[in-house]
Amino acid sequence: MAFPKTLLAPLAALCLLAGPAAQAEVIDRIVAVVNDSVVLQSELNQALLDAQAQIRARGVAVPADDVLRPQVLERVIVTRLQTQRAQMAGIRIDDRELNEVLNNIARQNNMTLSQLAESVKADGLDFLVVREQIRDEVLINRLRQKEVEARIQVTDQDVDLYLANQGADDNTEFHLLHILVSIPDGASSEERDRRRAKAQGLLKRVRSGEDFGQIAITSSDGQQALSGGDLDWRKAADLPSLFATAAAKLKVGDTSDVLETGSGFHLIKLAGTRGGEERQTVNETHAAHILIMPNALRTEDQARAQINDLYDRLANKGGDFAKLAKEFSDDPGSKNNGGDLSWQPPGVFAPEFQVRIDQLPLNEVSQPFHTQFGWHIAKVLERRTRDTTEESRRGRARQAIQQRRSGEEYETWLRRLRDEAYVEYRLAKADAAPAAADAPAADAATATP
């Protein structure tokens, strides 16, 4: 029997739906509800594939799906919670900013953006999906900075304690001088106080300028007293821990506070260091300047004429630089200090200004010159080379503390965010597997408040 052509299309559709349930294709499904959002099976599948690829790239055996899948799902949920939180906090990453991030990633890999996209596709990944993953990462980093890192404070006391516990570099050697005020066995508290007062008196004499070695020869109870208390060169590991800790904080030539041990009261002076990290120095310049800027009432030509007049008064008429700066300079930061710019390392000033003062002899006044800020006359008051080794060491310590605390606080913050969230699992573990993506959904919902 022939069917009318007008029935062929409806019939074909009916035949597709009339087969067994196992032939029906489920395009997607919800695997979890996260607050007011959902995680789809397709998202979980993609995240699982990404995780497997990352694990293989590290040369590590990939765990079985039923082991890896719960970990991946939890990571997807935590990521979703953070992006939700960022949206609530008003944090947005628009397409312009995202494109800048992608361009930076491409440049770091010596690629153009289009080449980066082709590389991602060659790895079997969808560039649009990767693009949105990067948007989420930037969003989460911005959220972490705002809600976690911005609240972390590192004090000088924190840095001191960190460095004390860290100790010196294993290769660092200290040249120490030592004074000991011993405490007799069974000494009374009064006798201990008297010995402590003696040590404090010796410290006062050292810090007032008396020679440490001479005081050691005359007043120290140590075995090296007759050698001026010279302990020679020793590594930190070869010193008493109290000495090593104290020495690591001293600059060459400095004397410690009174240190107390069971044997008595000690003073140590750092005569030198060697080995360990290299000393770091910076060349600094103490300069002053007068700035004349064009403005609504002063043209460029008038500004040039005024700076030339000031130069004439300084170079030919014996004018006072500080007084003229206070009266005429347009730099609000240095005007009231007579143009004094204080000590500055290279790179602080505009390049044109830095070149001029680097070439200028001490206490000579430069001829007028121009920068982006206006017309200047400069004068170099002093130059010095400053040791920044300890400053750099403290900076690294501060950064290490910041990073450690940031990691700890972030984990605590994430746990709290997860605990306060509503998460409902819609599928049993087996049904969440990519291999079972076409299977009917199981009625095995579980929820965590």
CA distance 428 to 444: 6
Query: What CATH class is the domain 170-274?
Result: alpha beta
74-78, 341-345, 436-440: which has the minimum mean pLDDT? Answer: 436-440
Q: Same CATH topology for 170-274 and 282-386? A: yes
Could you give the maximum distance between any two Cα atoms of the chain, in Å?
A: 128
DSSP 8-state secondary structure symbol assigned to residue 261: E
pLDDT tens for each residue of 111-169: 999 999 999 888 878 899 889 999 999 999 999 999 999 999 999 999 988 887 765 55
Distances (CA, A) of 263 to 180, 183, 260, 266, 302: 9, 6, 8, 9, 76
Closest CA to 72 of 88, 93, 53: 53
**Res 13 pLDDT > 60:** no
117-126, 193-202, 358-367, 435-444: which has the minimum mean pLDDT? Answer: 435-444
Six-digit token pair at 74?
Answer: 């939890």
Q: Are 360 and 379 in contact (CB under 8 A)?
A: yes
Query: HEC states along 391-440?
Result: HHHHHHHHHHHHHHHHHHHHHHHHHHHHHCCCEEECCCCHHHCHHHCCCC
- Dihedral sign, Cα of residue 62, residue 68, residue 73, residue 76: negative
Six-digit token pair at 329?
Answer: 């300079």
State whether CATH 3.10.50.40 applies to domain 282-386: yes
State whether CATH 1.10.4030.10 applies to domain 30-149+422-437: yes
β-bridge mates for residue 423, sequence order = 34, 448
Q: Are 68 and 48 in contact (CB under 8 A)?
A: yes
**What residue segments make up the domains of the chain, in order of their start?**
30-149+422-437, 170-274, 282-386
CA distance 174 to 253: 12
As a whole number, mean pLDDT of residues 70-90 equals 92
CB pairs under 8 A, 24+ apart, for 70-74?
70/429, 72/44, 72/47, 72/48, 73/31, 73/32, 73/39, 73/44, 73/47, 73/432
Half-sphere exposure of 319 (CA within 13 A, CB side): 21
- Dihedral sign, Cα of residue 398, residue 400, residue 403, residue 407: negative
Q: Are 427 and 442 in contact (CB under 8 A)?
A: yes
Distances (CA, A) of 75 to 83, 120, 407: 12, 22, 17
Q: Are 375 and 303 in contact (CB under 8 A)?
A: yes
Six-digit token pair at 124?
Answer: 């079997």
pTM of the model: 0.55
Please give the backbone phi and psi of residue 112, each rounded to the nearest 5 degrees, phi first: -90, 170
Burial degree of 44 (CB within 10 A; 0-12, 13-18, 19+) = buried
Alpha helices in 263-388 (DSSP H): 300-315, 321-328, 351-359
Closest CA to 181 of 259, 107, 282, 252: 259
| Per-residue pLDDT, 16 | 31
Please give the backbone phi and psi of residue 239, each rounded to the nearest 5 degrees, phi first: -105, 155
Question: Does an H or E element contain 176, and which?
Answer: strand 173-182
CA distance 420 to 414: 10
pLDDT tens for each residue of 24-51: 455 689 999 999 999 999 999 988 988 8
pLDDT tens for each residue of 389-427: 888 888 888 988 888 888 889 988 988 999 899 999 987
| Per-residue pLDDT, 370 | 96
Distances (CA, A) of 60 to 49, 52, 71, 123: 15, 10, 16, 18
DSSP 8-state secondary structure symbol assigned to residue 214: H
Distances (CA, A) of 330 to 380, 385, 403: 19, 30, 42
Burial degree of 68 (CB within 10 A; 0-12, 13-18, 19+) = middle
CA distance 105 to 108: 5
| Per-residue pLDDT, 238 | 72
74-78, 290-294, 380-384: which has the minimum mean pLDDT? Answer: 74-78
As a whole number, mean pLDDT of residues 257-274 equals 92
**Res 110 pLDDT > 60:** yes
Put residue 187 in one of left, alpha, beta given phi > 0 → left and psi -120 to 50 → alpha: beta
Half-sphere exposure of 265 (CA within 13 A, CB side): 17
